[in-house]
Structure 1
Amino acid sequence: MNAPSLRPQARQAILLREDSSGVATLTMDDPASRNSLSEGMLAALSETWSAIAADRSVRSVVLAARGPCFSSGHNLKEMTARRADADRGRAYFADVMGRCSAMMQQIVALPQPVIAAVQGLATAAGCQLVATCDLAVASAEARFCTPGVHIGLFCSTPMVALSRNVAPKYAMEMLLLGEQIPADEAFRIGLLNRVVPAGAELAAAQALAAAIAAKSTVTVKTGKRAFYAQAGMDLGRAYAHASEVMVENMLARDAEEGIGATLQKRQPQWEDR
């Protein structure tokens, strides 16, 4: 097993990266702001997603956080300060929302699967971040909410990711009531894959990441891309697209190797092509 290397990112080390055996673990480390998606955190996450997308040594990713809060969402202090602008902050608000949405879409577009390891409260755009990750594991003590309705700011952008994870009635309940829901409820409605005892969430997420890292990267990349592409299509187009993907996948070297290994009753040797 490779020795992990800790690589603090820019932006005052509010995002840490640790690589080990094909798994990159990112840790949001700004507990003073409740790991808010501040200008600095958005920049650090965006830069890191870009770096990971181009890093062939990374086969899967875990996104974790330190402190009692996984992420409190947008940094309201930063945003409120811009109400003094001549346009009352309109241009700044549009820029921040655009950058946050682009960062979320980087996760979806990333070739490697991303697994959230949620140790505490994930609220507003922090809940959106959990919903955007491909998989999510949470502590039994974690809580989730989209509370914008309480402060006159409907969680419209978190709604996009939330409504693509849970059934419409559950999404609307979270959005309209703004109440915190416990981890077991988040699991029941489909926001989470696993709920584990407090303190075990990171190890559980890393175990999932390690299992994924053992697969063919070209296969995982192909599947992730196809999953999100077909999700927005009608049934006929979805099947047509998936059939095209299957044909191309069948022609990949790893599919030939994997099928051959199955028929020969041996372990496949992936070449990631």
Structure 2
Amino acid sequence: MSDILMREDAGGIATLTLNDPKRLNALSDEMLADLSAVLTNIAASDLRAVILRAEGRAFCAGHDLRQMQAMRQAEDGGRAAFADLFDRCTAVMTQIRDLPQPVIAEVHALATAAGCQLVASCDMAIAADHAKFGVNGVNIGLFCSTPMVALSRNIGRKRAMELLTTGEFLSAQAAADAGLINRAVPAEALQAETRALAERVASKLAAAQRIGKGAFYAQLERPLAEAYALTRDAMVANLDDADTAEGIQAFLEKRPPRWT
């Protein structure tokens, strides 16, 4: 595990901190690899709860767009690399869902696109009252197809579709009202509130929590694999569009896109 993901275990609770503030804690290749490794380790441990938090100006800004644009240099224009990226991201999101321990997101700031997916994939979430949430890829020409799998399993269909098609953001309170997070709290209370919830979770019988979490998702919805395979292909097809490449490049260069 590299220094872009930090871990501290105390009182039966693992606290994971996304620590790549220069890239707004993007789900880069390195971050996904670190998350996968640490989640595998935690799954086999006797820890009883997990807190997922972040440092810097954003909780998580989604995929690393510069890495994605570099993938286009391959002979197939990046299609295989894009599919592999979304498969690896799906695996991490599914690891969180399948982890025996409940996972609580502590969201101090912006969570966008796959970063919003990360929040939605956690079992619970508490956010600072100034935090914002969005699946805003459509603003640069890339519909957030894989993030919408987790999003649409948290909030109502029509609200999810509005967010996906407009690229607008939810305030923390609106996210709580929609069911994306448990509650919004003053920023100065965020860490204590999240820790208190994790301690309440960790105080219960570990075996019961593990069995109960597994049963909760087993009965709640159909398997995610089918939905993620479909949306992976949708995102790969979307990224294959020249206007999407232009939209992402324009975003990176801080200029309006020149779409055809």
TM-score, length-normalised on structure 2?
A: 0.84
Q: SS at the partner of 2:63?
A: coil
Structure 1 runs of 4+ aligned residues shifted over 2 Å read: none
Number of equivalenced pairs: 222
Give the number of the structure with larger relative contact order, counting CA–CA contacts within 8 Å between residues 6 or more apart: 2
Q: Which amino acid aligns with 1:114?
A: V
Q: Which amino acid aligns with 2:13?
A: V
Larger Rg: 1
Aligned twin of 1:55: 45
Q: Which amino acid aligns with 2:124?
A: L
Query: Deviations along 1:135-191, whole A, 9 cap, x unmatched?
Result: 000000100000111111100000000000001111111101111111011011111
Tell me, which stretches of 5 or more residues in structure 2 are unaligned? 223-260
Mapped partners of 1:26, 1:203: distance in 2: 15
Mapped partners of 1:99, 1:172: distance in 2: 25
| 1:35 pairs with 2:25 | yes
Query: Deviations along 1:234-268, whole A, 9 cap, x unmatched?
Result: xxxxxxxxxxxxxxxxxxxxxxxxxxxxxxxxxxx
Query: Deviations along 1:23-57, whole A, 9 cap, x unmatched?
Result: 1100000000000000000000000100000011x
Mapped partners of 1:158, 1:110: distance in 2: 19
Report sequence identity in percent: 54
Tell me, which stretches of 5 or more residues in structure 1 are unaligned? 1-9, 234-273
> Are the aligned partners of 1:119 and 1:199 in contact in 2 as well (CA < 8 Å)?
no
Aligned twin of 1:176: 165
Which one of the candidate residues 3, 14, 19 is aligned to 2:4? 14
Mapped partners of 1:200, 1:30: distance in 2: 23
Mapped partners of 1:65, 1:35: distance in 2: 7
Aligned twin of 2:116: 127
> Are the aligned partners of 1:36 and 1:72 in contact in 2 as well (CA < 8 Å)?
yes
Mapped partners of 1:31, 1:221: distance in 2: 33
TM-score, length-normalised on structure 1?
A: 0.80
Q: Which amino acid aligns with 1:100?
A: C
Mapped partners of 1:199, 1:127: distance in 2: 22
